[in-house]
Chains A and B, each alone.
Chain A
Amino acid sequence: MFSYYIKLGWLSIRRNPILSILMVSAIAVGIGACMTVLTVNYLMSSNPIPHKSDQLFYVQVDSWDPNGFDENTEPVDQLTYIDAMNLMKAGKAFRQVASNRSGLVLEPSSEDERPFLVDARTTHADFFPMFDLPFLYGAGWDKSADDAQEQVVVLSREINERVFGGEDSVGKRVTMNGLNFRVVGVIDEWMPVPKFYDVTNGAFNLPEDVYIPFSVGVANQLSRNGNTNCWKEPDGEGFEAFLAGECVWIQFWAELRNEQEKEAYMSFLNAYAEEQKALGRFPRPLNNRLRNVMEWMEHQEVVEEDAQVMLWLSMLFLLVCLLNTIGLLLAKFLGKAGDIGLRRALGATKGTLFIQHLIESAMIGLAGGVLGLGLTWLGLKGVQRLFGDFLTHLATMDWVMVTTAIGLAIVSALLAGLYPTWRACNIAPASQLKTQ
């Protein structure tokens, strides 16, 4: 029976080609608009590290200005050098990482190639196992390298390709900012979206080109390319005074495997803050936070407000397209009143007629969904062109989005078809047969 209904549906669709095209394209356009925006929103709010996002915590201890504080004030979003180093030294979490964004000048060994700039992250040994970086060659460095300020570097795949032609470069040397670094590892393609480990400096930036020990960055006074904020000027001139001052510029993450570890770490942070208060720092009341990856993304409002406005507008857009389809389907099914009356008179039950017409609606929905997918793809290209680099990684589709699009199209078409179908089934056969 099912294939027979499909055949009937197909005949009916062909009988009014213009009307059918109108319906299919209305659904397609609605789905296309909705899915384009939904994809961008979905990727903006996606979980960048799903298997352990609830075990990674962004650490905030509030060292900030007491002026203008009330109980709703959030702690400052990064850490001072003093606090980051103290927390690293205490080592109370299963893993912990202080890191910062920097930039280096890489000098290729061959004379004819000009030096170029690379984005760098100065970080600690735990960065690699903590965030599960995939390694192509070698591995991260050991904790001992952090302590000894060893000049070691982990390269991204692209930089390894550019400097070493993509070969296994572990053990080779590369000169950056006049310093001689030994390559210990090369990471494979790694593109967390959002770039959760440093939302402060751009949630949709690319990961860095090279990773070097934090201690090396500090010892050589490498530039800080990220956000630096001070609530009071350092006491005195020079880098030492800056490090000792109340300037925040470091992101700190802790890996805590369960609720007990989290609670223990929170009380450690509070005790630490009290200790600092005793030393005359931390003028605000106790105000520390541990947020896991998704809580931190939400708190930092990673999903752009524009994207949310667009989401609502696109939902309404889809609604208009569906109203359109309902009207057209209604017109169409009522136009078939004669047929329906005849089939009822020949013994078809309301139930079978209902299923027959729902199948016809679903066929229109399927066609609309497939066409809508094409439009979504076009829409994403358009969005990319309009918004530029910032959206390049946000405007891709995966199978979740493809199935959602088709599913949404069929469900909407079925919903749109319900009322017209119901009306069609309730046509009294006698009245139709009379006029024939």
Chain B
Amino acid sequence: MEIGPIWRALTRNKTGAILIALQIAVTLAIIVNAVAIIQERSRLMARPSGVDEPNIFYLSSIGFGDDFNERVTIQEDLDAIRNTPGVVNAIQSNSVPLRGGGWSMGLQTEPGSESESSGVAVYFIDEHGLDTYGLELVAGENFTAADVNWREPQAVEWPDKVLLTQAMAETLYPDGFMEALGNTVYINGNEPMTVTGIIKQMQAPWNGWNGVERVMLVPQHTLFGSTRYIVRTEPGQRDRLMPEIEDMLAERSRDRIIRGMTTMEETRERSYQGDSGMVGILIFVVSLLTAITALGIVGLASFSVSRRTRQIGTRRALGATKPAILRYFMTENFLISIIGVLVGAALAIGLNMWMVQAFSLTPLGWYLVPVAMVLLLIVGQIAVLGPARRAASVPPAVATRTV
């Protein structure tokens, strides 16, 4: 290979080469970091909520007026919904995973205000709760109808029984979640609750919370004026049933408003809107940037070819073959790109270290840098191919002409 002469030729006219190398370097730094962010967000979005998302929807019913009897309405509504053909099950609850708004409390294994308590998301359910959400009970037993009571708006008492997720049980009993079963945990510092069952997995309503899988299920109906029904349908029946159930509930009473009809799928979409938006933008940025850099390479290479037309002609006249000319430009680009990606690798890692510190991002996966380096080298070679072929087709006779 004629790396020596190509290198020496480069060093005599280095500004253009330095510019391209710099451009490649910054491009690499951006691409690597953008992809790292994309990966991080995709991982976040891939976490399961634990519930049967495709078949669940929910809605709010807000009572008003003096004639509104909330307790009766809730019981009758639930009966009516559960008896609708196509509905698997339904409950009243305060929230669903990913919704963004919910209730949290603290649980501790020892009573007293001195003990450290762990935050936990609260879902109020009844004996149909596990079936409605589609949760898996790994130990203990479900609530029975007798366990479920009614909660007034400013109540401070809690029921005796509670179900925990595996993650919450492990937080309280680090030796193993099974230890939680049958044990007493304390809410509000010293009010005891017995753990009667353990759920495999379920997310809290806040996907950004670091304890997102810490959940407790409490056997209570709530009388808060505004209530939420969660409905699970048979596969494929959801979209048909949504308007049907909305109409049915609206018909049943004039003293309330039915609103906020939402599917779990919409909830997931909205919950991760910021993340998926960021991913979209970054993918766009990465593609655009690669294209711009490639075009820059094409532009500069074309110029250098047209400036060197006579030189190329002379080389051809002196016996250089077409492939030799092609190889010359390809090698030249390769040398420039190698410098670019090496500088870029350092830049990418530096930028990442800074962003990890400034914006609490997760550090790069080690393989991203080499993969991006190889990719940019290939892009460079493809970009320079056109101008290089034009160079190779310069006829030797050019050498004899005075331009």
Q: How far is the CB of B390 from chain A (nearest CB, A)?
A: 13
Pick the contact of B26: A105, A241, A316, A387 (CB < 8 A). A316
Q: Which residues of A contact B359 (CB under 8 A)?
A: 305, 308-309
Give A290-334 interface residues, CB cut-off 8 Å to B.
304-306, 308-310, 312-314, 316-317, 319-321, 323-324, 326-328, 330-332, 334
Pick the contact of B29: A236, A316, A334 (CB < 8 A). A316
Known: A237-B156, A387-B277. A319 touches B26 (CB 8 A): yes
Known: A327-B296, A327-B299. A390 touches B16 (CB 8 A): no
Pick the contact of B16: A115, A117, A327 (CB < 8 A). A327
Contact present for B257 and A115 (CB under 8 Å): yes
Q: How far is the CB of B202 from chain A (nearest CB, A)?
A: 23
Per-residue interface assignment for chain B, residues 149 to 164, with 1 indicating a CB less than 8 Å from any chain A CB and 0 otherwise: 0001111110000000
Pick the contact of A335: B15, B293, B303 (CB < 8 A). B303
Contact present for A234 and B273 (CB under 8 Å): no
Q: Report if B355 contacts A (CB, 8 A).
A: yes
Q: How far is the CB of A227 from chain B (nearest CB, A)?
A: 9
A contact face: mostly helix, strand, loop, or mixed: helix
Q: How far is the CB of B127 from chain A (nearest CB, A)?
A: 26
Who on chain B is nearest to A320 by CB? B26
Q: Which residues of A contact B276 (CB under 8 A)?
A: 386
Give B267-305 interface residues, CB cut-off 8 Å to A.
270, 273-274, 276-278, 280-282, 284-285, 288-289, 292-293, 295-296, 299-300, 303-304
Contact present for A324 and B270 (CB under 8 Å): no
Contact present for B27 and A320 (CB under 8 Å): yes
Give B59-116 interface residues, CB cut-off 8 Å to A.
62, 64-66, 113
Q: How far is the CB of B169 from chain A (nearest CB, A)?
A: 24
Q: How far is the CB of A220 from chain B (nearest CB, A)?
A: 12
In angstroms, Cα B26 to Cα A317, docked, is 8
Q: Which residues of B contact A316 (CB under 8 A)?
A: 26, 29-30, 351
Q: Report if A19 contacts B (CB, 8 A).
A: yes
Q: How far is the CB of B118 from chain A (nearest CB, A)?
A: 13
Contact present for B156 and A26 (CB under 8 Å): no
In angstroms, Cα B275 to Cα A309, docked, is 13
B contact face: mostly helix, strand, loop, or mixed: helix
Contact present for B257 and A320 (CB under 8 Å): no
Known: A117-B62, A305-B359, A331-B299. A423 touches B15 (CB 8 A): yes
Known: A308-B359, A328-B300. A116 touches B156 (CB 8 A): no
Contact present for A323 and B154 (CB under 8 Å): no
Q: Report if B307 contacts A (CB, 8 A).
A: yes
Known: A238-B154, A331-B300, A386-B277. A323 touches B257 (CB 8 A): no
Q: How far is the CB of B316 from chain A (nearest CB, A)?
A: 20
In angstroms, Cα B293 to Cα A107, docked, is 61
In angstroms, Cα B292 to Cα A117, docked, is 50
Q: Report if A177 contacts B (CB, 8 A).
A: yes
Who on chain A is nearest to B155 by CB? A237
Contact present for B293 and A320 (CB under 8 Å): yes
In angstroms, Cα B41 to Cα A365, docked, is 36
Known: A223-B226, A237-B156. A306 touches B23 (CB 8 A): no
Q: Report if B20 contacts A (CB, 8 A).
A: yes
Contact present for B273 and A387 (CB under 8 Å): yes
Who on chain B is nearest to A116 by CB? B257
Known: A237-B156, A386-B280. A320 touches B292 (CB 8 A): yes
Pick the contact of B281: A323, A383, A388, A390 (CB < 8 A). A383
Contact present for A335 and B156 (CB under 8 Å): no
Q: Which residues of B contact A327 (CB under 8 A)?
A: 16, 19-20, 23, 296, 299-300
In angstroms, Cα B37 to Cα A308, docked, is 13
Q: Report if B34 contacts A (CB, 8 A).
A: yes
Give B334-382 interface residues, CB cut-off 8 Å to A.
351, 355, 359-361
Q: Which residues of A contact B252 (CB under 8 A)?
A: none
In angstroms, Cα B292 to Cα A29, docked, is 9
Per-residue interface assignment for chain A, residues 23 to 57, with 1 indicating a CB less than 8 Å from any chain B CB and 0 otherwise: 00010010001000000000000000000000000
Q: Which residues of A contact B282 (CB under 8 A)?
A: 313
Q: Report if A433 contacts B (CB, 8 A).
A: no
Q: Which residues of A contact B34 (CB under 8 A)?
A: 313
Q: How far is the CB of B191 from chain A (nearest CB, A)?
A: 9
Who on chain A is nearest to B260 by CB? A117
Q: How far is the CB of B125 from chain A (nearest CB, A)?
A: 22
In angstroms, Cα B351 to Cα A306, docked, is 16
Q: Which residues of B contact A178 (CB under 8 A)?
A: 64-66
Q: How far is the CB of A204 from chain B (nearest CB, A)?
A: 12
Q: Report if A10 contacts B (CB, 8 A).
A: no
Q: Report if B39 contacts A (CB, 8 A).
A: no
Q: How far is the CB of B144 from chain A (nearest CB, A)?
A: 26
Contact present for A117 and B259 (CB under 8 Å): yes
Q: Report if A69 contacts B (CB, 8 A).
A: no
Known: A105-B64, A117-B62, A383-B281. A330 touches B16 (CB 8 A): yes
Q: Which of B19, B34, B257, B278 has the most CB of A within 10 A?
A: B19
Q: How far is the CB of A232 from chain B (nearest CB, A)?
A: 8
In angstroms, Cα B297 to Cα A328, docked, is 9
Give A62-76 interface residues, CB cut-off 8 Å to B.
67
In angstroms, Cα B153 to Cα A237, docked, is 9
Q: Report if B188 contacts A (CB, 8 A).
A: yes
In angstroms, Cα B65 to Cα A241, docked, is 25
Pick the contact of A332: B66, B152, B288, B303 (CB < 8 A). B303
Contact present for A309 and B257 (CB under 8 Å): no
Q: Which residues of B contact A117 (CB under 8 A)?
A: 62, 257, 259
Pick the contact of A33: B19, B29, B285, B300 (CB < 8 A). B285
Q: How far is the CB of B85 from chain A (nearest CB, A)?
A: 27
Known: A324-B292, A335-B303. A330 touches B259 (CB 8 A): no
Who on chain A is nearest to B103 by CB? A228
Who on chain A is nearest to B34 by CB? A313
In angstroms, Cα B361 to Cα A320, docked, is 23
Who on chain A is nearest to B301 by CB? A331
Q: Which residues of A contact B270 (CB under 8 A)?
A: 388
| A-B contact sample (15 more), CB < 8 A, given A117-B62, A388-B277 | A29-B288, A105-B257, A107-B64, A237-B152, A237-B155, A306-B278, A309-B359, A316-B351, A323-B26, A324-B293, A327-B19, A327-B20, A327-B23, A330-B15, A387-B277
Residues of B whose CB lies within 8 Å of any CB of A are: 15-16, 19-20, 22-23, 26-27, 29-30, 33-34, 37, 62, 64-66, 113, 152-157, 188-189, 224-226, 257, 259, 270, 273-274, 276-278, 280-282, 284-285, 288-289, 292-293, 295-296, 299-300, 303-304, 306-307, 351, 355, 359-361
